[in-house]
Structure 1
Amino acid sequence: MKTSASKGYIKRTQKDYSVSFKLQVVQEIEFGQLGRTEACHKYGIQAKSTIREWLRKYGNFDWENQSGTIVAKTPEQRILELEAKVKLLEKQKARAEHLAERADKKVIIFDMLVDMAEKEYDIQIRKNYTPGLSTTSKKNTKKQ
């Protein structure tokens, strides 16, 4: 290890860390006791990327499938999560109902405006269109 006398900074290399030390840091991070940045400051590790590599090597996260091991949550935590999800869904439902009601009102107003325009200008705006086979469709059915 190299020490800078003026700053009291210890420059470390990858070889300075024992496997047990690496496992301890990884365990603290995975249990949520420390973040990567906090671990760097606490243990004098130079870069967060060093810790990221330790997490890849020694951690429980499955980097190939991008899924972590499932940590069992307490029933209270699960209830709080579900309550938050219910509140969010209720807000989304209320917003959707509001938008649907607004769209219905727009349709009613549009119909009223079309009715008024038809009476005012004595023209038929709405067409009584009954779908039927077009002439090209009739020709195609005869060939088969």
Structure 2
Amino acid sequence: MKKLLLTAFLVGTFSMSYAQSDYYNDYRRSISDINWQTVVADLLLSTTQANQVYALNDRYRNYDSWNRVYVVEPGRWRGDRYSELERILGREKYIVFKKKYYRGENPVIVYGKKNDYKKYRKEQEKYYKERSKYYKKQNKHNHGHHGDWD
């Protein structure tokens, strides 16, 4: 029974880390799918705005730096990124950006279709529920039985 539960935990852990990497891949695609030099030219961004956009794109250069921030809520990157982009561009230019590069849809929705946050939360809750059952059984077994000397 212990081996079965341990296996379930390991599978849960790997499936959660897979979901996490999917979110990171969406984050990277949100940057690489767009030619940002064209965005800067099309929207007539100032040098300061362009530098801020490039800095935003370089904020998390690898999975580890991204994961340190979004380990608990991986879907949060979308809201964070696009609210920051809206702040940099300004409301009017952000609307133009959204229409041209995301066909009028909110970028949060565009990159939310593949990785639904609710799905991730359900997987996370299932993992912790299974983990909790395992530890309750362990504690019941350890506290209810005092060893071989009884």
TM-score range, shorter chain: 0.3 to 0.5
Select the structure with the greater relative contact order (CA < 8 A; seq sep ≥ 6). 2
Q: Which has the higher helix share?
A: 2
Q: What TM-score does the superposition give when structure 2 sets the normalisation length?
A: 0.31
Greater Rg by CA: 1
Q: What TM-score does the superposition give when structure 1 sets the normalisation length?
A: 0.32
Q: Which has the higher strand share?
A: 1
